[in-house]
Amino acid sequence: MIVPQTVKAVFTRDNEGITGLTAVITIINVRTGSVLINRASMQEINNGIYIYLFSTFDPSIDYHVICDSNDRSLDGRGLVYGGNDLFTLEFIDTIATRVNDLMNENWKGYPM
């Protein structure tokens, strides 16, 4: 089931939002490694916040999302995923669950 979601990224320098960037997003299917979105442009909305409408989001798929910009002096890269807090929490829980599942599958018999 496709459920479009807005992906948000915050870009800062010295804890101040940076405007006027060329922000891009890459979205990868975690299970297959397929690049679904490759350096697509993000829209600046205000004070260092950039968005991208992920129109083909499927909640049954785990994604790796990378938000980047043309400015290497920033504090970090994109920080926030999802269209709202509930989605963000569910998205993070899904990733954590999948990582735990993969570790259990791949590390059976190894001390943790």
Report the percent of the chain where pLDDT is more than 90.
23
Q: Which residues of 43-65 are buried (b: 16+ CB within 10 A; e: fewer)?
A: ebeeebbbbbebeebeeeebbeb
Higher pLDDT pick, 37 / 49: 37
In the structure, what pLDDT confidence band is assigned to residue 54 with cuts at 50, 70 and 90?
very high
pLDDT of 70-108, one tens digit each? Answer: 887 775 555 444 443 334 444 545 555 555 565 565 555
Amino acid 85: pLDDT: 39
Q: Which two tokens stand for residue 82?
A: 């999802």
Mean pLDDT of the chain: 75
